[in-house]
Structure 1
């Protein structure tokens, strides 16, 4: 039974149970108020100051709509609905300062993703006691949060982390709303109401293909207009470097308990002002970038390539940090600029971005109630040319530097990338 309500600017009133209220009131959910959903994107889109907290509440709301759809079909019961709502509510508690930006630090130095940290927090904090008190298995919930539960039915994992899941549906609509970019319009209700389960996988009614294609287009356009926006990436790259240089002094990799981790959020980076008198070289570099960031004096893009094909050099550039650093140093030498003045940015995802634990993240089954049995169930890409086309990879390689070095770095980068059979910036 619902005990209270939260007013959300995107979805309206969202009702919560006593169990959910107890979890929401823990420090692990409350800290999400201090973690921006889109990192430094607010310097480009001033409205983008929404947080992981509202996204988590919104994802829980969409999980409720999907649960009701599946309950009407007698596919799940009330306990399954509770589990799905809890998983949606908790799915992002592992995020660190500035959301996915901190994840680069966690992976590099701790070999942990935000999904790993999510599970760690649940099983080592009071959240497990709250979940257990209400008769649910906290380990199952911790796995379901990241779409990897072995005890839950497979389609429940897909509801949290799948081709069309409640997480993606909320963040696309929410990010579009707060950035003011109108590409994110999706008929969420129609999509969720058209879902069923086939062979333990989520499937969508063929009558809703147009709504599904709109979802695919929205994802593609939002990545181009917001997530991969040149200036957004500049701000985010600076934040990543600041956290990397100052990680020891900010405690970004030295926590040992969930409570210690809960003290890390966006405001932690504001502690940089305490390092003005420090003489450590890494802190000096962090403070330089931090002061520029505060004044919105961002790094400038000197070189850019959009890559739509697979290529050995590109693959290595995206996966090997050592190679990126070697090329950065080569550019610095050739451009005659100081060390640590060149930054290669290589965000990469398919145009409909993949989920880490899916074999084929682009596919979802389509069912046609009116078709013959052998034609009733088809993969989306086999019935939608648009979906098939959007399987192409969208890789972006950019080289950033300080404004005063832009022309020298641009020239040097063009020459160096030419050695790898690339044109002087542009598309491949």
Structure 2
């Protein structure tokens, strides 16, 4: 029942608290029956509830036994954290753009973008992007934008408040604003208001609220200790200056902690050797399995069916392939999936090495797995020349190629010179992080060949590294 009075207790009719293991509580706006929509209505929408049925970590839940969290939990966390950062940035944003909309509208626009930034994900997350969507020239962000501009648009435009208060009369969130700020790529045919463009780095890029939520959340849910991540200090020292996102030099240690934690998660969780083995093993059958659950053609043209494509529906299809295959092809698909579900993967790790690259041109051979495989086969004894081999290059870019460029994601303010220094950001990044890291791993499916393969790999890698 809605409180009809005008006392301070009315605030409890408008906002709910959601318990969260990372933030203790996240606030959401409630449905009031006044004709306006709410964050509660968005969270209860089938497209958001669908995210409960998609794991946050595509294959890692088969490796880290407690990693059972979903995209839904990350979406709520990203919404909460994006709102905190935007609310903190608002006073300095207003100095750059005096004709800003209301604080509530600006904060809510960014909160909704945080909530919906991953709404287009398919089963197995980014693996679905590379194995299915890439063949149509799209990714989950393209589908997410289609949802924001389509099925979710009415709910977005009818929002009238954030947890901090109501919009000004006549204000509304434009779905195009949300679609623009939720993904790095430009939005075709859309010119963003300058204040929104200034806020885009809050949600997009390696130093973003998206990353700031999933790094500690994934670590917590995997049971992995990554060291401290001091988000309050990082937020405290961020501000907008001349339309750019800036970090005060006193916040640099917090940035260092966060980027180190993020790199650790990539190297030891997201690129874990067994996670990569699972992905390697599923490549030949993953897309074919998904095809049986969708109409032919681009999934973005079949959103009504895509709504029901989740980890749950995919694993139900996997169960059918294992128990009741209808064709010889399905028999083979079921066998390949069974190696994963029963954790009897045929590929064995023969070799692994970690490389940190400081310059864009370092070790060009580490960008081409086919070239490395050919080099290994040249070193193999004749008897094992046709042995089953897979070369895996798991690479991440911890910092931008050129953080001093005009479109750099974050600038550094030097309190000694009292200005934003053009070289401060690249110098800081270069000191903290390599330009690129690469895990080079070689797998084979023939145990008897492992000693010979390893010797061949060692000789080939010595050539590649030169």
Could you tell me the TM-score, scaled by structure 1's length? 0.84
Report if the CA contact (8 A) 2:348-2:443 is conserved: yes
Give the direction of change, closer, same or farther, for the CA distance of 1:334–1:157 in structure 2 (3 Å limit): farther
How far apart, CA to CA, are the structure 2 residues paired with 1:328 and 1:133?
A: 60
Given that residues 132 and 287 in structure 2 are in contact (C-alpha distance below 8 angstroms), is that contact kept between their aligned partners in structure 1?
no
Q: Give the structure 2 partner of residue 136 of structure 1.
A: 173
Stretches of structure 1 lacking an aligned partner (at least 5 in a row) = none
- Of structures 1 and 2, the larger Rg is shown by 2
Specify whether residues 394 and 423 from structure 1 end up closer, same or farther in structure 2 by C-alpha distance, changes over 3 A only: same
- The size of the alignment, in residue pairs, is 411
Q: Which residue of 2 aligns with 1:408?
A: 449
2:360 is equivalent to residue 315 of structure 1? no
Kept in 1, the 8 Å contact 2:240–2:246? The answer is yes
**What is aligned with 2:139?**
113
- Say if 1:324 and 1:146 are closer, same or farther in 2 by CA, change over 3 A: farther
Contact 1:184 1:218 in 2 (8 A): yes
Counterpart CA distance in 1 for 2:375 and 2:143 is 32
Is 2:66 aligned against 1:47? yes
Runs of at least 4 residues off by over 4 Å: 279-282, 322-331, 358-363, 374-378
Stretch of structure 1 that moved more, 55-64 or 77-86: 77-86
CA distances 1:388-420 after superposition (whole Å, capped 9, x unpaired): 351331112323344xx13425634753785xx
For 2:134 and 2:374, the matched residues in 1 are separated by: 17
Deviations 1:206-264 (A, max 9, x none): 11211111111111212222112112222333344441342322338644322211111
- With over 3 angstroms needed to count, the CA separation of the structure-2 counterparts of 1:95 and 1:44, relative to structure 1, is same
Match of 1:303 in 2: 351
Query: Which 10-residue stretch deviates more, 141-150 or 98-107?
Result: 141-150
* Unaligned residue ranges in structure 2 (runs of 5+): 1-10, 31-37, 95-99, 160-171
Q: Which one of the candidate residues 335, 339, 349 is aligned to 2:384?
A: 335
Partner of 1:22: 41
Which among 263, 276, 284 is matched to residue 220 of structure 1?
263
The equivalent residue for 2:462 is 423
Matched, 1:38 2:82: no
Tell me, yes or no, if the aligned pair for 1:34 and 1:267 is still in contact at 8 Å.
yes
SS in 2 for 1:183: coil
CA contact (8 A) 1:245 1:285 kept: no
Task: Please give the root-mean-square deviation of Cα atoms over the aligned residues, in Å.
Answer: 3.4
> Do residues 344 (structure 1) and 395 (structure 2) align?
no
TM-score (norm 2): 0.78
